Structure 1
Amino acid sequence: MLRIADEMSFSISRSATALKSGKALRVALLMSDHIRLWFSASVIEGLNQVLHADGYDLSIFQISSIEERREFFDMLPVRRNADAVIVASIDVDAQESAQLASAGVPIIGINCVNPREYGFTAAVGIDDDQGSRLVARHLIGLGHRNIVYVRTSREVSLRFSVQQRYDSFVKACLEQGVTPTTLVAQESEDRISTIVSELLSLPQMPTAIACQEDGIAIPLIYQLVCCGYRIPSDISVIGYDDSFYAHDIGLTTIRQDPIGMAREAACKTLDLINRKTTGMPFQTFPAQLIVRSSTSRVSLDKG
């Protein structure tokens, strides 16, 4: 029979398997960022490594507003076309979590703020409070007091995990008697050029710039060098993520491991689908300061 099946290129029907098991064999992933970005691509890679090996497909939903998010949670229990929902870097409210719980669908967070409070079944994430404090203490320890923080603009009405980075950084600076200046990088192709223009328009150039993510820090360093500034002699720059090219250009940054976090989230997801429980449902990964050549002690004439 096996020989005949092989000759006929017979394969087991996924639909029949799903019907027999009562499972959709599909996990829904909610994201806010573009899939091509480092964090999103890494999360997808890590999830797929675990889920695909267990026979599960990954359906990706890009959410840009509360309205889109609510529509997803309203329709999923009706369609019942996913066995679990993974949410990356955005929050859901307690009512939406309860909707899934009532339908027996677990919800797992990756880098989500206050997952217990909002009714997540499980969650993994970097300790953004620790990471941002490391950034602040590193720069202040090097003697910097004229510090600029560059963050992204979130025009959509969702709460994003990167807000924690900003809040913790500002708090850590204020505790040391330093009041950082905040610049907002609006979503556009020219956002880094705009930030450089705003920096050059300040009464005095900062001695250090902390960036919400490497995706800001790396092109910012390039444009500052093009403007004649030496990094780090004139301006220290620090990023956050330890993403693509951070090592190559010598960027000091905070390391997180989205592939590792996603793999852990996928394992918890399979546990919850198959056994309705998982060990250590809420797990925090420590941040790590990676010191490279883009930061240095402030020059004596600028201190």
Structure 2
Amino acid sequence: MAEKNKLIIENAIKLFSTNSISSTSIQDIATESGISKGAFYLHFKSKDALVVAIIDYYSDLITSCIQKSDYDDLAPRKQYNQKLTDLFEFIIQHKDFILVQMKDPSIPLTDEMKSSLKRVTYKMTQFHQTYLTEMYGHQIKPFLWDLTLIIDGLFHSYTKFLIHAPVVEIRILVPYILERVDSIVEGLKPDDALLKEEQIAAALSDFFEVDDSISVSATLHEIRNVIRDSEKKDELFISIDMLEEESQKTQPRLPIIQGMLLNLRNEPGIQKLIQRLVTHYQLNDSLFND
């Protein structure tokens, strides 16, 4: 991102958090940024376009936070603990962004703003669901949506509290939250699931706009963790490495992707994950169903 765009975004957030979006004019933002009102329009065509850019800017920062590879050598629970800690610290550090949402909760949203917010929500949901599955195993699948909303609710509630009253250390708070989730998981019974996959599938598009690159990345991450204890893991990890490399390309080579998925298909516990990628890349289903 251009430095001038970043400067305008950060100054706008500061003004929005103090005065609200509706009460802040483009002239206010331009003055705070040390540019003319005309120069503002060289960077953003409108205030709405600026708000979309702000959402995307913070979405990218949050994505970098939850996808960082610094903790890849740790067990899933420790990874999750560290990333939640980093996420809390990041949000508190950038609390003006949250204050804007608190100050203007009912601001009219354009379709582009809604789309950007849906992408943020999707990324966070994938983040929680990936680690919940890794921590507690596939036996929690019937409760995955319930647990996702519970931990997301805890995270957001404590975030709002800490912004105004930072009386608890984050390094103590995160293990506390995970221990509460442990207690919930321990008490679950097979018939306890409130939100079932088939019930919410039709409504997902109302909450999420799927970022395909994140979907593929999260799926491959999930596969890697399922096969971590396999005797053939070194061989299988090579296939996953190649899949990750192809998924980052503008035009992934489908024959390479198909070949690598065929290398993985007989490994126990990942058939549904493989099928997710087969569907995503529109590969020949019959090759994976014999």
Do the two structures share a fold, i.e. TM-score over 0.5?
A: no
Identify which of structures 1 and 2 has the higher relative contact order when contacts are C-alpha pairs closer than 8 Å and 6+ apart: 1
TM-score, normalised with respect to structure 1: 0.27
For the pair shown, which has the larger CA radius of gyration, 1 or 2? 1
TM-score, normalised with respect to structure 2: 0.28
More helix by share: 2
